[in-house]
Chain A
Amino acid sequence: MSIIVNLDVVLAKRKMRSKELAEKIGITSANVSILKSGKAKAIRFSTLDAICKILDCQPSDILEYKPKKE
């Protein structure tokens, strides 16, 4: 997919662990790990809203579009 998830970068900047984020936004650590690894097929607006609120960032900080080279 051409959408890159930079959640690990933002987490590192905020010095926050995945488990802590999962607990704060009310999703499982497994789901955070799916999101971080880029395996996620979709993200709910409610989840994105919660992540942005907790990490004090914009959706564009987490998601990035990089076109694939063909």
Chain B
Amino acid sequence: MKKIQLLKAIVDFIWIVFIPIIPFAIIAIPFILIVGDIGDFDIKINGLLLASKSILSKVLIAVSILTFLLTFYSLYLFRKVLAHFLRLKIFDNTVISLFEKIGNLLIISGVLSLIVSFVAKLYFKHKVVFEIGYNSKIMLICLGLFFMILSEVFKISKAMKEENDLTV
């Protein structure tokens, strides 16, 4: 169980580090879309400077912030899963639904960042780039699918555990 405590400590640390950014990120989305003039800021998405005052760059930045928020929310749900594991509630309905939620969030987040990256490069650099690598958004989608599969595996395991518990 020491491994899970170490994992929980790392996830908690990331959570604490990122928490002060969250209110700004939430405020930033309507600000950028409605009021803000982002022309004065040097905002980069995937190494691409978005200094333009166009609506597209505003939307791209807002979507990027939304993706960050979604990923962060999945981290929060993962913390909940780890808390359940520490209480030895492993094959629980909550854990199964949390895994499914995390999977969905990561897939949505991965697809959105893939679209943002693709559109930004197409519009600002006039290039069609499809990245496959360690840091690519495809990995995020794969991770999301992995969590969804994990949810299915836990569902089967829960049924097997119940069967085992009810064997006399």
Q: When chains A and B are docked, how far (Å) is the Cα of A32 from the Cα of B166?
A: 11
Determine if A9 is an interface residue (Cβ-Cβ < 8 Å).
no
Instruction: Determine if A12 is an interface residue (Cβ-Cβ < 8 Å).
Output: no
Residues of B close to A47: CB separation below 8 A: 168
> Judging by beta carbons under 8 Å apart, are A44 and B166 in contact?
no
**Chain A minimum-CB-distance residue to B162:** A41
Interface residues of chain B: helix, strand, loop or mixed (majority): mixed
Q: Which residue of A lies closest to B167 (CB)?
A: A42
Complex CA distance for A44 and B168, rounded to whole angstroms: 6
Which A residues lie within 8 Å of B42 (CB)?
none
A9–B159 alpha-carbon span in the complex (Å)? 30
Contacts of B162 in A (CB 8 A): 41
Seen from chain A, the residues whose Cβ lies within 8 Å of a Cβ on chain B are 27, 31-32, 34-35, 39-44, 47
Give B residues with C-beta under 8 Å from A.
Answer: 162-163, 166-168
Can you sample 23 A-B contacts with CB below 8 Å?
A27-B168, A31-B168, A32-B168, A34-B166, A34-B168, A35-B168, A39-B166, A40-B166, A40-B167, A40-B168, A41-B162, A41-B163, A41-B166, A41-B167, A42-B163, A42-B166, A42-B167, A42-B168, A43-B167, A43-B168, A44-B167, A44-B168, A47-B168
